[in-house]
Amino acid sequence: MSLSKKPVTGMKDILPGEMRIREYVTGVIRETYEAFGFTSIETPCVENIANLSSRQGGENEKLIFKILRRGEKLKLDEAKTEADLTDSGLRYDLTVPLVRFYAAHTNELPSPFKALQMGNVWRADKPQRGRYRQFMQCDIDILGEPSNLAEIELILATTTTLGKLGFRDFQIRINERRILKAMAAYSGFGPEDYDTVFIILDKMDKIGLDGVAAELTGHGFSRECVERYTELFAGLQDADDTVAAFQSLTDMLNLAGVLDVEVKDNLAEIIDSVRATKSSDFEIVFDPTLVRGMSYYTGTIFEIAMPQFGGSCGGGGRYDGMVGRFTGREVPACGFSIGFERIILLLMENGFQVTSQGAKVAYLIEKGVSGENLRTVIDKAQQERESGACVLVVRMNKNKKFQKEQLATEGYTQFREFYKNPLK
Amino acid sequence: MSLSKKPVTGMKDILPGEMRIREYVTGVIRETYEAFGFTSIETPCVENIANLSSRQGGENEKLIFKILRRGEKLKLDEAKTEADLTDSGLRYDLTVPLVRFYAAHTNELPSPFKALQMGNVWRADKPQRGRYRQFMQCDIDILGEPSNLAEIELILATTTTLGKLGFRDFQIRINERRILKAMAAYSGFGPEDYDTVFIILDKMDKIGLDGVAAELTGHGFSRECVERYTELFAGLQDADDTVAAFQSLTDMLNLAGVLDVEVKDNLAEIIDSVRATKSSDFEIVFDPTLVRGMSYYTGTIFEIAMPQFGGSCGGGGRYDGMVGRFTGREVPACGFSIGFERIILLLMENGFQVTSQGAKVAYLIEKGVSGENLRTVIDKAQQERESGACVLVVRMNKNKKFQKEQLATEGYTQFREFYKNPLK
């Protein structure tokens, strides 16, 4: 068989320039999240196929890379379906493994447990520019905290991190599953239709309010329902004061008997607390059109919107029901995921450079330098390293000028040359 | 399907305590290797099956986790063998991917290229204590450096790192494939028998010199060959002065016309240079019984031996022929891999603790604190974080004393309590 130089389809090699940025960013992320009391954990990249196919992952479950059973477990002759060939697969997110992890180790973990995970996930998406089949995710989650302290801490930690990475003028958009449902109920949609309605609503930023109305009507919903629904959004879009608009919407839903006052107060407290205590330059706004795909969300949902980047740069929400699926015992849970690969892409597109800490020194050693002379040079290098410098020891090329130019592009600013005849 | 709380067979979850040590160790490794001019790269965890089955990986190729083809490519009805079902797999080491990476990106990389890789690899070994099917490897490699500067730098970088991690009194054992061969040739073995002879020799530390002799004889080799061979090793084992013993052995092999003087001088220079310039507390010794399994080694081979740990804690060597398999153009290459998981195990068994940098402060907030009061508390936490502290903000439990005791085990040393009635 011939050997292939390329990475497998849809995955990429990471060269030193990008790696420097990735390592810098993971460093800032870890340091900032640790200051908020999050602790790192890791789960295997491979999960049991039953956990990956538990319908917690929505569309992502169609994109799983499945791993072939091994040895006696692989009964190729008898296999009729894929399921006969595989009992594990590569994880498609970090949330399902986290919940399994928490279920397995609850007794060894503090409560509430604040987890930080940075790791690769795999999805067999159609390869396209900037999207890869292996990519890093960076999640923080708080398990065991029922109050909105979880949401407030998650949003502050994430936005502080983005601020430290130099991002400005971004938005946190926030909504509540229960407000979404209340608006649908108020308009006359039945609970069985909510999922369909929300999938259409989710397209608002692409097709606009008229487009949403047309799709809902096209789907066979009554004109009365659709009109009542779109009027709610039209009123909010026109509002000058989003705080007042949020108040009057939720008051109305509450009066109509479709929304508990606690839900409204809870969300208001999150928004107010974040506004009052944020340390970075961003806005937090109520966005009644925010849906977020995953069906496991039960309460607040939120997303990072960056003007520099069309789509979302991360998001999360509350998923109180998920731990119970593993343990039978409900545990409140809430998480926020940064779109790590998009952050890296944005930094690279903006020419972001990591400045190195110490001096970068290159030792160029002429080919004949050996024995005692070589030892003296290496000893010198060791001493410079001890005092904090980065010292590259290489043989001198014939074209020394070109070699130095190349080294300069790698950040080497000092050069020391060593010859066989030291007097040269 | 019921959900499984356990990780997949043979893989493990990593809890906060171990993660702290792992992150500390990867930090020290990265910092130290960077001071030697190594730069980080990353390759996908998934590789083309052709590359993984190219016979560069020896026994490891039998342990590959293979990934099922997807969509139209999976022709389950027609599949007769495993090969029909899979076109990729999880990497079993970092060397094969590195060589593919180098072949793909040669023009974008400096020469020599000094690569640092830290990443997971997967092998479907029989699960056993302390050995997992997913584990971290940590490799440094120098590609494009033909001289022994590569070996000297690799050994100094690795041993400096081990020293910074607190390891003392370890040994670097070094040998040369060409000396191994010369000793076999000198004893009368034919080149076709070398591999068999070396596999038996490799058991020396387990079965002793008599055991090796017995196995060689049992294998049908002539008594004369076996006696001549074992006498060589007996002479070396009895030597008081290993430097002199190395000299007289290699001189003899050279005189017999089976070893080039350059090979001997080259190895002597590596040993002498490392001895003269090392910054950590270790020994480097010539070990003529060192074989190392992988067949791709072409020159020097070396291994870390730790008295605290029975086996080897890492190793490496020169593999000049491997890049040529991808590119058709030979590129000299040499690498050194640290046994990352063993290092972690040793540190944990020795009760190693990572001391945190800043203060760790826990804010305990009584349940009723909300609105303006909550914002004031969170604002205070944000300010303490700004000034470098780690601040955990949690709701106060009914059993406050127990909660504080638990937090103390996580390293929290300061506690601030906030009540609904501030005068309480």
Task: List the structure tokens of A248.
Answer: 């009057």
Say if the Cβ atoms of B326 and A70 lie within 8 Å. Answer: no
Measured between alpha carbons, how far is A46 from A90 in angstroms, rounded to an integer?
A: 5
CB atoms within 10 A of CB B197: 25
In the β-sheet with B46-48, what is the strand arrangement from edge to edge? A46-48, A86-90, A66-68, B66-68, B86-90, B46-48
**pLDDT for the residue B1:** 45
A54, A80, A374 member nearest B1 (Cβ): A54
Q: Give the separation between CA A275 and CA A289, rounded to whole angstroms.
A: 21
Residue B59: predicted pLDDT: 77
> A176 - beta bridge partners?
A300
pTM attached to this predicted model = 0.94
pLDDT digits (tens, 9 = 90+) for B71-105: 777 777 788 888 889 999 999 999 999 999 999 99
Q: Whole-number mean pLDDT of chain A?
A: 92
Percent of chain A with pLDDT over 70: 98
Chain A residues lying within 8 Å of B53, measured CB to CB: 1
Query: Which of A40, A373, A404 should we substitute to test contact with B (largest number of B Cβ atoms within 10 Å)?
Result: A40
Which of B69-83, B182-196, B270-284, B317-331 comes out lowest in average pLDDT? B69-83
Q: Min CA distance, A8 vs chain B (Å)?
A: 6
- CA–CA distance, A150 with A143 (Å, rounded to integer): 9
C-alpha dihedral sign at B369, B371, B373, B374: positive
Tell me the average pLDDT across B59-72. 87
Distance CA A154, CA A159 (A): 9
Residue corresponding to tokens 């909010």? A236
**Of B302, B330, B338, B356, whose CA–CA distance to B119 is shortest?**
B338
pLDDT digits (tens, 9 = 90+) for A74-130: 777 788 888 889 999 999 999 999 999 999 999 999 999 999 999 999 999 987 877
In chain A, which residues have their Cβ closer than 8 Å to the Cβ of B101? 13
| Whether B42 contacts chain A with CB within 8 A | yes
Distance from CA of A419 to the nearest CA of B (A): 15
Q: Give mean pLDDT, residues A31-37.
A: 96
Cα angle value A182/A151/A190 (rounded, 5°): 15
Written as one letter, the residue type at B71 is: G
CB contact under 8 A, B54 and A6: no
Cα–Cα distances (Å) from B284 to B23, B35, B159, B264, B331, in that order, read 29, 22, 10, 16, 27
A211 touches chain B (CB under 8 A): no
B395-422 burial, b for 16+ CB within 10 Å, e for fewer? bbeeeeeebbeebeeeebeeeeebeeee
Task: Note if the bond before A112 is cis, omega within 30 degrees.
Answer: yes
Average pLDDT over every residue of B143-165: 96
What is the 8-class DSSP label of residue B375? H
- Checking if the pLDDT of B170 tops 90, the result is yes
Instruction: Please tell me the distance in Å from A220's CA to the nearest CA on chain B.
Output: 34
Contacts of A4 in chain B (CB under 8 A): 48, 50-51, 100
Write a three-state SS string for chain A. Answer: CCCCCCCCCCCCCECHHHHHHHHHHHHHHHHHHHHCCCEECECCCEEEHHHHCCCCCHHHHHHCCEEECCHHHCCCCCCCCHHHCEEEEECCCCHHHHHHHHHHHHHHCCCCEEEEEEEEEECCCCCECCECCEEEEEEEEEECCCCCHHHHHHHHHHHHHHHHCCCCCEEEEEEEHHHHHHHHHHHCCCHHHHHHHHHHHCCHHHHHHHHHHHHHHHCCCCHHHHHHHHHHHHHHHHCCCHHHHHHHHHHHHHHCCCCCHHHHHHHHHHHHHHHHHCCCCEEEEECCCCCCCCCCCCCEEEEEEECCEEEEEEEEEECCCHHHHHHCCCCCEEEEEECHHHHHHHHHHCCCCCCCCCCEEEEEECCCCCHHHHHHHHHHHHHHHHCCCEEEEEECCCCHHHHHHHHHHCCCCEEEEECCCCCC
Residues of A within 8 A of B5 (CB-CB) are 100, 103-104, 326-327
With CA atoms as reference, report the closest residue to A202 among A106, A346, A301.
Answer: A301
A160 to chain B, any CB pair closer than 8 A? The answer is: yes
A77 touches chain B (CB under 8 A): no
Helix or strand holding residue B418 (H, E): strand B414-418
Whether the CB of A267 is below 8 Å from some CB of chain B: the reply is: no
Give every strand in the sheet of B414-418, ordered side by side: B390-395, B360-365, B414-418
**Mean pLDDT, rounded, for A203-214:** 92
* Nearest neighbour of A101 by CB, restricted to B13, B22, B391: B13
Determine, for residues A279 and B35 on separate chains, whether the beta-carbon distance falls below 8 Å. no
Nearest to A46 among B134, B382, B410 (CB): B134
Pick the residue from chain A with its C-alpha nearest to B326.
A3
Chain A residue with CA closest to B380: the answer is: A277
pLDDT of the residue at A422: 66
Give the contacts of B387 (CB within 8 A, at least 6 positions apart).
none
pLDDT in tens, A120-175: 999 999 878 778 999 999 999 999 999 999 999 999 999 999 999 999 989 999 99
Q: In angstroms, how far is the first alpha carbon of chain B from the final one?
A: 52
pLDDT at B157 over 50: yes
Most confidently predicted of A49-63, A375-389, B55-69, B280-294: A375-389
Residue A115's nearest CA partner among A99, A134, A91 is: A99
Contact status of A325 with chain B (Cβ, < 8 Å): yes
A contact test, residue of B2, B3, B30 with most A CBs within 10 A? B3
Which positions 327-356 of A are in contact with B (Cβ < 8 Å)?
327
**B423 pLDDT more than 60:** no
Partners of B40 on chain A (C-beta within 8 Å) are 16, 19-20, 23
**Residue B121 has what DSSP assignment?**
E
* Each residue's pLDDT tens digit, B195-236: 999 999 999 988 999 999 999 999 999 999 999 999 999 888
Backbone angles phi, psi at B120, to 5 degrees: -80, 145
| Chosen from A26, A48, A53 to mutate, greatest number of chain B CBs within 10 A | A48
pLDDT at A115: 98
> How many C-beta atoms surround the C-beta of residue A202 within 10 A?
15
pLDDT over 80 at B188, yes or no: yes
The pLDDT assigned to B76 comes to 78
- pLDDT tens digit string along B334-386? 999 999 999 999 999 989 989 877 899 999 999 989 999 999 999 999 999 99
- % residues pLDDT > 90 (chain A): 77
What pLDDT sits at residue B61?
81
Mutate to test the interface with B, among A20, A26, A34, A361 (most CBs of B within 10 A): A34
Contact A23 B12 (CB under 8 A): no
Please give the pLDDT value at position B422.
Answer: 66
- Residue range A319-341: mean pLDDT, rounded: 92
Neighbours of B356 (CB within 10 A): 13
For residue B271, give the DSSP letter: H
What residue of B is the nearest CA neighbor of A370? B269
Number of Cβ within 10 Å of residue B202's Cβ equals: 15
Q: Does B152 touch chain A (CB under 8 A)?
A: yes
> Could you tell me what percent of chain B has a pLDDT over 90?
77
Phi, psi of A133 (to 5 degrees): -85, -15
What is the share, in percent, of chain B residues with pLDDT greater than 70? 98
Residue A29's φ and ψ, nearest 5 degrees, are -60, -50
- Is B419 strand, coil or helix? coil
Instruction: Check CB contact under 8 Å for B5 and A122.
Output: no
How many interface pairs between A and B have CB atoms less than 8 angstroms apart?
289
